[in-house]
Chains A and B, each alone.
Chain A
């Protein structure tokens, strides 16, 4: 299936731990994104990469570090997890920066 996929689907961890979320798209898109959706379902962009180059870095704590090993993958590493990091994280991709974005299934992160 052609899609945007994320792993894991669920992530439950202790505060203070370091964790990573992986994202892959096989749509051949050049641009990938990370969004955070809070408990009120409000989606906010965190990062965007175009052809492995960082193009959006919103006001996000530097405990969050994205990495794009190639244009089909964009991973999100989170250091020293805090309670407020609990949310659903969505990866998305688009053919280029200005076009329609297609979302992955999400990763629900719970920091205890």
Chain B
């Protein structure tokens, strides 16, 4: 069964303290791995899509990487405005004609000034 597990569930950082969020997945052929950011009371906001092992993408203080078993979201010198829940989702090759995403439970990040 396709599955996504994110760790840690919650992470508290001081402003400027870099860290990484983990997304482990088991899927019958990965078509794509997606990272979203969700602020309280709002819908998930798209960040990145990764398609193959070794791929990396960056946006401001965020960098996403992908291996055959997991993805990392690295946060460099975070600021309080980076506080949010970060969601990881996978799409299996067999689901490419339906678009079905399987989400992890998320990592809630709090960055203190």
Contact = CB atoms under 8 A, between A and B. Distances in A.
Interface of A: 4, 31, 33, 40-45, 48, 50, 55-56, 90, 92, 94, 96-106
Contacts of A4: 43
A43 B87 contact: yes
Contact of A97 (B98, B103, B108): B98
Interface of B: 31-32, 34, 36, 38, 41-46, 49, 85, 87, 89, 91, 96-101, 103, 105-106, 108
Nearest to A108: B41
Nearest to B91: A98
A105 B100 contact: no
A67 to B, nearest CB: 19
A97 B44 contact: no
A48 B46 contact: no
B46 A98 contact: no
A43 B44 contact: yes
Contact of B105 (A42, A56, A105): A42
Contact of B99 (A31, A41, A103, A104): A31
A38 B87 CA distance: 14
Given A103-B43, A103-B44, A103-B45, A97 B85 contact: no
Residue of B42, B43, B85, B89 contacting most chain A CB atoms (<10 Å): B43
Given A40-B105, A43-B87, A102 B100 contact: no
B103 A106 contact: no
12 contacts: A31-B99, A43-B101, A55-B99, A56-B99, A92-B43, A96-B99, A97-B97, A98-B32, A98-B99, A100-B49, A101-B34, A101-B46
Contacts of A104: 43
Given A98-B91, A98-B96, A45 B44 contact: no
